[in-house]
Amino acid sequence: MVFIDDHCRGEAWRFASAIERWLLAEAQLGPAAGRCAGAVVNYLEPDGGWNGAYPEICGYFLQFLAAAAPEGEAGPHREAARRVVLWLAAVGAGGAPLTLYHRRAETEAGDWRNHCLFAFDLAIVLRGLDAAAQRWPGLLPAGVMEPYAAALAGITAEGALASHVRRLGKPSVPVPVKWSTLPGLHHLKAAAALAGLGRPELAAIARATVAREARLLDRHGRERMRELHPFLYGIEGWLTLWGQGGAAQDLERARTGFAWAFGQLDLATGWMPPVVGAPPPAFRSDVLAQMLRAGLVLEAAGALPGEVAPAWPRGRAALAASLRAMVTPEGAVAFDATARHRNSWAGMFAWQAFRFLDAVQAGMPASRLAEGII
């Protein structure tokens, strides 16, 4: 995991700082006690009520904490990480944490997601635990990563990541066909997470996953772009792999995908649909943040696609303005224009997008930015 140093203190930094304060103060506040104590909420409702806790989001949160903590800091960032790690150690002891821990435990069993164990989620948890271990040596209890790694190694097909497996002892329930229940480009982000762990057995799974997705992308091209959130996960995966290893083909595939996604951006308004071709006013703040992050890494690398480069300064400004508009007075990030719930992972992605704006201006190497994408 790469840790972003302090840079200049412009407007982007101020927004990032406000989001960071909210994440440290509120993201763990919902489940302050009981079986979810220490976990990170997926979002807070407008009235302050919390919905549930995803282990996956805890993995993102650990990456955020490790990247945000000042050098030598042993205060709120480390303490928040300690609480998350202990919760992940408890729920993952058997290698099969639930996908979503509901605020009301009695509703968990009926959630189809909790009848499945997802490879993507486990990969993000592992990367988060690794980031915490790098940032704060000695923080992780011995063996905490092993059940997660063993469980993930069992969710494969022909050596590459599969989407999920059914949980033992769970009745057969219909699993909807959607991006999260199929192998796809989003697994590039999971593969990049595994590739950086230094575990040969997981690195082999990562290589097979990357090879599969490269073949499918070369064969089907932009037909693979439908929902922007998972498609941008794919771009992030290519960029992170490039940051880790410097392979030109990884950067080139990220460039190609970004050019396709950029065509969905309204340069006049900064609006971007969650699904290709969807009409306004639908949009998601996590997609805005993902798009801005990816573009900034490509800008820093001098690798913006030729058809994008002339319009990128306008696109960058439009995306940043749209994202700023989603930050509430207390520093939370609203998920969209209608539900307005305060979303933790969108907050982390937005925090990093604003930090990247400053980092690019300060000349941080693109490979460091790419390797550190949350």
pLDDT band at 71; cut points 50, 70, 90: confident
Report if pTM > 0.85.
yes
Interval 237-264 mean pLDDT = 98
- The answer, yes or no, to whether residue 135 has pLDDT greater than 50, is yes
- Of the chain, the percentage scoring pLDDT greater than 70 comes to 97
DSSP class of residue 107 equals: G
Burial code (b: 16+ CB inside 10 Å, e: under 16) for 24-48 equals bebbbebbeeeebebbbbbbbeeee
Average pLDDT over every residue of 188-211: 99
Residues 6+ apart with CB under 8 A from 125: 55, 56, 58, 59, 88, 92, 97, 148
Q: What share of the chain is helix, strand, coil (3-state, %, to 5)?
A: 55, 5, 40
Higher pLDDT, 230 or 5: 230
Locate tokens 């575990």: which residue?
199
- Which domains occur in the chain, in start order? 11-371 (1.50.10.10)
Confidence of residue 9 (pLDDT cuts 50, 70, 90): low
Determine the pLDDT at residue 47. Answer: 82
Tokens representing 179 are 């991006």
Q: For residue 173, which amino acid is it?
A: V
Identify the band that residue 6 occupies on the pLDDT scale cut at 50, 70 and 90: very low
Q: Please say whether the beta carbons of 235 and 298 come within 8 A.
A: no
Q: What pLDDT band is residue 95 in, cutting at 50, 70 and 90?
A: confident
Peptide bond into 310 cis (omega under 30): no
pLDDT tens per residue, range 316-363: 999 999 999 999 999 999 999 887 899 999 999 999 999 999 999 999
DSSP 203-266: HHHHHHHHHHHHHHHHHHGGGG-SBHHHHHHHHHHHHHHHHHH--HHHHHHHHHHHHHHHTT--
Is residue 33 pLDDT above 80, yes or no?
A: no
pLDDT value of residue 30: 74
Nearest to 120 by CA among 166, 181, 67, 168: 181
Q: Tell me: pLDDT of 254 over 80.
A: yes
- From residue 239, how far is each of 8, 54, 188, 294 by CA, in Å? 24, 25, 10, 8
Give mean pLDDT, residues 290-316: 98
pLDDT at position 8 over 50: no
C-alpha to C-alpha distance for 60 and 86, rounded to whole angstroms: 15
pLDDT at 3 over 70: no
Q: How confident is residue 186, by pLDDT bands cut at 50, 70 and 90?
A: very high
Q: Where are the alpha helices (DSSP H) in 69-118?
A: 76-91
- pLDDT band at 162; cut points 50, 70, 90: very high
Segment 232-255 mean pLDDT: 99
pLDDT at 215: 98
Q: According to the model, what pLDDT value does residue 270 have? A: 94
pLDDT at 117 over 80: yes
Residue 17: per-residue pLDDT: 97
